[in-house]
Amino acid sequence: MVEVVVVPGALEAGRLVATAILGLVAQKPDAVLGLATGSTPLTIYRALATAVERGHADLSRLRGFALDEYVGLPEGHPQSYRAVIARDVVEPLTLTPDRIHVPDGLIESIRTAGAEFERAIVAAGGIDLQILGLGTDGHLAFNEPGSSLASLTRIKALTEQTRQDNARFFDSIDHVPTHAITQGLGTIRRAEHLVMLAFGEAKAREVASAIEGGVSATHPASIIQLHPHATVLVDEAAASQLENLAYYRHAWADKPDWQGL
Ligand code: GLP
């Protein structure tokens, strides 16, 4: 069953996930983390950065793979996910840059970039913990509705809704790329532990479809139901359309502390 944890807000979610990651790193200093971009996971990265600043953790051996990247942005573009991951994750967490991989979205290499990224994940021994956000249209990474449940890293056309949602990071919607390269749903399913976060009412419908609806390509995040170890952290607003809320609450409240996420 997908474990659903209802938290007061993003800060608490970030703290819980950061604790799980620090526990993983304590056991395996060169653990492989799947990195999501977007605003949702920022509290995780801030909590990890604080742990590093206070000398409670050394993340220099951690390895990482980003979920996705825009296609066709010029090298060094501040909104490319390569730049975002460097700014929001690698620098504050003092990760080692050459241990962190982002799919290559440059036009010149796009034909082979997906297969190369897949090979790199396999060579690293797979992803231990995959952080995931959720698009308002239900997309997971940039797997838009309709994505194959078995898909691997490849190029995808973005929906208009996704382009509108992400227009806030660009001068206008016309500057938002039309395509992205993204880990596939099949890639994501291979990670050892999936940790999806969603906050706010705009995500409530897709949260309910992902956790309690049928598994289908129409709701890409529903693949979490096929995973043996999937955790979803939501605030009250994002949880508001879940039917089994009372059960999730008491399952979490009664969970022994030692089990963690
Ligand atoms: C983005 C990313 C996703 C992210 C999602 C939600 O476009 N490609 O990986 O999870 O959309 O973004 P946010 O966290 O800002 O709501």
- pLDDT-above-90 percentage for the chain: 98
Best residue among 165, 194, 195, 205 to mutate for probing ligand 1, ranked by most atoms within 8 Å of CB: 165
For 141, which DSSP code?
T
Residue 144 a catalytic site member? yes
Q: Is the CB of 93 under 6 A from ligand 1?
A: no
Cα-trace Rg, the chain: 17
How many CB atoms lie under 10 A from the CB of residue 166? 20
- Catalytic entry in 88, 104, 144, 235: 144
- pLDDT recorded at residue 258: 87
How many CB atoms lie under 10 A from the CB of residue 78? 10
Q: Is the CB of 67 under 6 A from ligand 1?
A: yes
Tell me which residue has its CA closest to atom 11 in ligand 1. 135
Q: Is the CB of 14 under 6 A from ligand 1?
A: no
Q: Is the CB of 68 under 6 A from ligand 1?
A: yes
The model's pLDDT over 70-85, given as tens digits with 9 standing for 90+, comes to 999 999 999 999 999 9
The model's pLDDT over 218-259, given as tens digits with 9 standing for 90+, comes to 999 999 999 999 999 999 999 999 999 999 999 999 999 888
**Rounded (10°) CA dihedral 226, 228, 229, 233:** 30
The model's pLDDT over 180-201, given as tens digits with 9 standing for 90+, comes to 999 999 999 999 999 999 999 9
Tell me which residue has its CA closest to atom 3 in ligand 1. 141
Name the pTM for this structure.
0.97
**What's the mean per-residue pLDDT of the chain?**
97
Report how far ligand 1's centroid is from the alpha carbon of 166 (Å): 8
Res 1 pLDDT > 90: no
Residue 139 a catalytic site member? yes
Residues 24, 32: Cα–Cα separation, whole Å? 10
The model's pLDDT over 92-137, given as tens digits with 9 standing for 90+, comes to 999 999 999 999 999 999 999 999 999 999 999 999 999 999 999 9
Strand, helix or coil at 234?
Answer: strand
The model's pLDDT over 31-76, given as tens digits with 9 standing for 90+, comes to 999 999 999 999 999 999 999 999 999 999 999 999 999 999 999 9
HSE of 106, CA atoms in CB hemisphere, 13 A? 9
| 38 CB-near residues (< 8 Å, 6+ apart) | 133
For the segment 202-224, the average pLDDT, to the nearest whole number, is 98
Tell me which residue has its CA closest to atom 13 in ligand 1. 38
